Amino acid sequence: MLHPIENEGARTHTSDKVWFITGASRGFGRIWAEAALERGDRVAATARKLSSIAGLTEKYGERVLALELDVTNADQVQSVVNQAHAHFGRLDVVLNNAGYSLVGTIEEATSDEVRALYETNIFGPLAVIRAALPLLRAQGGGHIVGVSSNLGHEVIPVIGYYCSSKWAFEAIHESLAAEVEAFGIKVTIIEPGAYATEFGSQQSLRFAGGMEVYEDFKTQVIAGIRSIERGDPNATPEAVFKVVDAENPPLRFFLGSHSLPSVRAAYERRLATWEEWEPVSRSAQGISK
């Protein structure tokens, strides 16, 4: 007998989904775009440089539409989403994957560096969502998928601003899910743990200016991050397909085996603190019963 989730995925699977993927030049975006194409789906693959995804067109022909897109340019986002929809006639999965991390303590990073991070990690996905929603409503449904992180639930110092962008990302998508359910639009937040992708490369990282007072601390934290066991990104497509093929996909989905234990421990610590301080919290209510 099939596991209920496996059975649900098998029941609803189709090999003719149309995907719109940002950040398709490398990492998860590239792996999932190619995997979708390999199983017979069609993909509008976008990247900041068209040359970085030209190979997809050469390999997969008319089933892929390669488009240049800077997600921080809202006008370009609107145009490219419309172009992809017009080209394929529909969009089934809108996958926001583009993003990067800012390395630096809270004091070190400048306001301009933080704004630039949020422009890509928050406002970029929002532009894609806003452009796609009228089209998804008109076609009677669709699935908005956002790539977050297990760091949307817990925090690692020195990349606190990146974590903060994912906390905002999580809240936006949870609210969105409730707002668009009546239109037949599904929302899923994919939360990867650590994977051996190019996300940790110089292309996907920005570094804030250093302050000597934090150097030892940063060295220790970064060494800890580098020591984390990383999953194989090429093992992820089937899990992602089960989510997007499910009749009732989850709002949140951990990718990998390490996140649930880690996040469970983080929430247990929070609950313990709230419960310890509950008498003080209750005293501040101002209403006696």
Count CB-CB contacts under 10 A for residue 87: 14
At 218, the amino acid letter reads K
Query: What residues have CB less than 8 Å from 58, skipping those under 6 apart?
Result: none
State both tokens at 279.
Answer: 């008498």
Residues identified as active-site: 148, 162, 166
State both tokens at 18.
Answer: 């149309």
Alpha carbon distance 265, 42 (integer Å): 40
Backbone angles phi, psi at 191, to 5 degrees: -120, 85
Alpha helices, DSSP H, located in the chain: 4-12, 27-38, 54-60, 74-88, 111-118, 124-139, 160-180, 215-226, 237-245, 259-276, 278-283
Query: What residues have CB less than 8 Å from 117, skipping those under 6 apart?
Result: 100, 102, 161, 162, 165, 206
Long-range pairs, 277-284, Cβ under 8 A, ≥24: none
Query: What residues have CB less than 8 Å from 191, skipping those under 6 apart?
Result: 148, 149, 150, 152, 153, 252, 253, 254, 255, 259
